[in-house]
């Protein structure tokens, strides 16, 4: 299989800013779907919030009642809250309808938010995505319905008023939705591949009432996972496997004529050639060290735990987790195991840490804010993906686990017990991978909010919906410093066989980057522009007038901040 080596180079060069899109944030929306046949009083609905790098204040507001709760969350500490019966009733969706059953979580500083929908032997959990990661196009990814009148379902939350929702092109009524309103949509059949779109950003949750995985093999459980918008879908995926030895994977295509390749899995249902909305299911074994999946168009992937009577491990139930593309690695991730307050069989909790092979020694974990230590668990390397993963037991159930690897990582979380499981994405980036071009993995639409502390920048094109690219032209315009450019300067003029990537070294400063794409014989090009900020590595020697500091400060600073001009290496 062809390896995308250029992509690995991009990831290793990536610089992530505090404003880059990932699973941390300060603004979240959450709702819950029906768990099997249980009523709201029979389930434990739990919110877990893990503090980021600083102490912060968090507010939870229930849209239906207007009730607010304010509380502090300390750095890298876990705040857990189980909803009261009135609060559960205000967020628990059971019938197909429009409602106000949502929760709005806001914080002064970035935090990570998780949610649990649990009842005896019926459990699943999810991460909650910040508003910055949301968009207007999704596909449902679920599983075959368990017999007995249960329903597949999804729930969407409007993040802005006057939001109109479409299911496979047909408007859902009654709409529009106002900010915080929810539409809970149900079906007696598996809706995997249903296309859900809107005119404004929405939060999208897959909330299947109960399934067996594989179908007709006990035991059964509900599914609960927030899914990511199509703009975050990628083309390269590494599928790890839980310690249960064999998991299932579903892949959904976003475009017609999508061709998929995979190494390490076995096709169970469907084909590796898909049209938009079609899907294929794989089984992946731990003995294969995971599975590498690549596609020529963006795809969405979910991975599933199987029932205990299928994996023969004596524990586990069906559970679903969103799997980000390799393109969505991040330098760190926060995770905390779920501890239900009601009747539960959950006994063991794990993190799955995925990294680039060869960077194992750079992977560390800080537990409860303690000094970081290297990981010593067994790594499972996958040569096709050039990635490795390991299972980390989360033995301190009240502490946060903060994983870091500057080369990039993705972290999943899961828990198991007899006839009970949960599985969810714990941490990754949530970049817009549909952007026309990116710089060191940052979409051109977000470059202005990112400070690049390396001078070598790799640009990657991602031109879509164009039948034929004739040529591309790249321009730069330096906008800061002693000698800014008066106009755009041509960097490169690529006439034939446009490459996916190219690299250039920039001096510190701020630049406008423009891409012109000539296509299909048209005379006028498509034009894309973004601001690139290259930081200066300088040392400041404070004087007593600067507050009495005596130690110099070394860092990477954006050109244009209030620092001596001679400090910048032009």
For the chain, list the domains and their CATH numbers: 21-427 (no CATH), 437-536 (2.60.40.10)
Q: CB count, 10 Å around CB of 309?
A: 15
**CA distances (Å), origin 17, targets 453, 503, 556:** 10, 20, 12
Question: What is the rounded distance in angstroms from the CA atom of residue 302 to the CA atom of residue 321?
Answer: 6
The SS3 of residue 196 is: strand
Q: What is d(CA 149, CA 270) in angstroms, rounded to the nearest whole number?
A: 25
CA distance linking residue 274 with residue 279, whole number of Å: 7
C-alpha 136/C-alpha 45 separation (Å) is 27
Q: What SS3 string covers 280-342?
A: EEEEEEHHHCCEEEEEEEEEEEEEEECCHHHHCCCCECCEEEECCCHHHCEEEEEECCCCCCC
Calpha distance 416→70 (Å, rounded): 32
Place of tokens 């032209």: 473
Q: If residue 89 lies in a helix (H) or strand (E), which one and from where to where?
A: helix 85-89
pLDDT of residue 15: 32
What b/e string do you get for 81-101 counting C-beta neighbours within 10 Å, with b at 16 or more? ebbeeebbebbbbbeeebbbb
* Helical (H) or strand (E) element with 510: strand 509-519
Q: How far is CA 93 from the centre of its chain?
A: 24
Give the pLDDT confidence score for residue 473 in this predicted structure: 87
Q: What is the DSSP letter of 43?
A: S
Pairing outcome for strands 526-534 and 451-452: parallel
Cis peptide before 174 (omega within 30 of 0): yes
Dihedral angle at the C-alpha atoms of 365, 410, 226, 341, nearest 10 degrees?
-20
What is the reported pLDDT for 147? 84
501-to-10, 186, 298, 504 alpha-carbon distances in Å = 9, 43, 18, 10
Closest CA to 515 of 544, 491, 539: 491
CA distance 326 to 148: 38
Q: Nearest to residue 226, comparing CAs of 19, 31, 47?
A: 31
Reduce the secondary structure of 106-133 to three states and give it as a string. EEEEEEEEEEEEEECCEEEEEEECEHHH
Beta-carbon-side half-sphere exposure of residue 109 (alpha carbons within 13 Å): 13
Question: What's the rounded Cα separation, in Å, for the pair 185 and 496?
Answer: 48
Closest CA to 151 of 248, 34, 281, 41: 34
Q: What are phi and psi of 129, to 5 degrees?
A: -80, 140
Along the 570 residues of the chain, how does pLDDT read in single tens digits?
334 333 333 332 333 333 447 899 999 999 999 999 999 999 999 999 999 889 999 999 999 999 999 999 999 899 999 999 999 999 999 999 999 999 999 999 999 999 999 998 999 999 999 999 999 999 999 999 998 889 999 999 999 999 999 999 999 999 899 999 999 999 999 999 999 999 999 999 999 999 999 998 878 999 999 999 999 999 999 999 999 999 999 999 999 999 999 999 999 999 999 999 999 999 999 999 999 999 999 999 999 999 999 988 889 999 999 999 998 999 999 888 888 888 899 999 999 999 999 999 999 999 998 999 999 999 999 999 999 999 999 999 889 999 999 899 999 999 999 999 999 999 999 988 877 888 887 888 878 878 888 899 988 887 765 667 788 888 999 988 778 888 899 987 766 555 578 888 998 889 999 998 887 788 888 888 899 999 887 776 655 555 555 566 677 877 766 444 333 333
Q: Give the strand order in the sheet containing 469-478.
A: 451-452, 526-534, 509-519, 469-478, 489-494
Would you state the pLDDT for residue 545?
Answer: 55
CB neighbourhood size of 271 (10 A): 10
Instruction: Please state the pTM of the whole predicted model.
Output: 0.83
User: Is 49 in contact with 111 (CB distance < 8 Å)?
Assistant: yes
Paired strand residues for 252: 279, 300
Which pLDDT score is estimated for 464?
62
């Amino acid at each position: 299989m062809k390896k995308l080596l250029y992509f690995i180079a991009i990831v290793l060069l990536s610089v992530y800013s505090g404003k880059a899109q990932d699973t941390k944030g300060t603004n979240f929306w959450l709702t819950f779907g029906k768990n099997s046949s249980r009523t709201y009083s029979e389930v434990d609905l739990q919110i877990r919030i893990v503090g980021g790098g600083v102490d912060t204040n968090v507010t939870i507001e229930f849209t239906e009642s207007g009730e607010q709760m304010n509380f502090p969350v300390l750095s890298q500490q876990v705040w857990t809250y189980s909803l009261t019966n009135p609060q559960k009733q205000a967020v628990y969706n059971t019938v197909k309808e429009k409602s106000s059953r949502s929760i709005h979580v806001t914080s002064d500083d970035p935090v990570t938010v998780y949610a649990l929908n649990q009842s005896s032997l019926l459990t699943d959990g999810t991460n909650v995505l910040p508003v910055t990661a949301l968009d207007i196009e999704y596909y449902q990814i679920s599983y075959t319905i368990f017999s007995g009148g249960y329903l597949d379902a999804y729930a969407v939350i409007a993040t802005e008023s006057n939001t109109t929702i479409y299911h496979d092109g047909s408007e859902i009524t009654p709409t529009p939705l106002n900010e915080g309103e929810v539409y809970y949509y149900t079906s007696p059949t598996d809706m995997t591949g249903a296309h859900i779109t809107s005119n404004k950003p929405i939060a999208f949750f897959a909330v299947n009432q109960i399934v067996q995985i594989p179908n007709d093999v006990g035991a059964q459980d509900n599914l609960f996972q927030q899914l990511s918008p199509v703009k975050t879908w990628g083309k390269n995926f590494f599928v790890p496997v839980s310690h249960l030895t064999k998991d299932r994977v579903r892949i959904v295509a976003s475009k017609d004529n999508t061709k998929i390749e995979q190494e390490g899995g076995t096709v169970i249902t469907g084909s590796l050639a898909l049209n938009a909305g079609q899907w294929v299911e794989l089984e992946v074994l731990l003995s294969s060290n995971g599975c590498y999946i690549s596609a020529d168009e963006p795809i969405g992937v979910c991975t599933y735990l199987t029932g205990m009577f299928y994996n023969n491990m004596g524990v586990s139930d069906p559970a679903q987790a969103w799997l980000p593309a390799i393109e969505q690695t991040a330098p760190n991730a926060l995770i905390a195991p779920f501890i239900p307050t009601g009747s539960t069989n959950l006994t063991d909790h794990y993190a799955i840490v995925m990294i680039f092979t060869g960077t194992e020694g750079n992977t560390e974990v800080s537990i409860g804010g303690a000094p970081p230590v290297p990981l010593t668990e067994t790594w499972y390397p996958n040569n096709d993906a050039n990635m490795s993963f390991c299972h980390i037991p989360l033995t301190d159930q009240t502490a946060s686990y903060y994983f870091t690897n500057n080369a990039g990582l993705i972290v999943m979380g899961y828990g198991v017990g007899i006839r009970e499981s949960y599985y969810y994405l714990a941490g990754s980036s949530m970049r817009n991978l549909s952007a026309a071009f990116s710089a060191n993995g940052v979409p051109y639409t977000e470059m202005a909010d990112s400070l690049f502390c390396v001078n070598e920048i790799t640009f990657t094109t991602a031109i879509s919906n164009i039948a034929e690219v004739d040529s591309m032209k790249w321009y730069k315009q330096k906008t800061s410093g002693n000698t800014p450019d008066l106009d755009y300067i041509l960097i490169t003029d690529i006439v034939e066989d446009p490459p996916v990537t190219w690299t250039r070294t920039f001096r510190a400063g701020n630049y406008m980057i423009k891409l012109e794409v000539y296509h299909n014989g048209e005379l006028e090009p498509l034009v894309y522009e973004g601001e690139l900020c290259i930081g200066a590595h300088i040392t400041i020697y404070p004087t007593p007038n600067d507050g009495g500091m005596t130690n110099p400060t070394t860092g990477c600073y954006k050109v244009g901040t209030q620092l001596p001009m001679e400090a910048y290496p032009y």
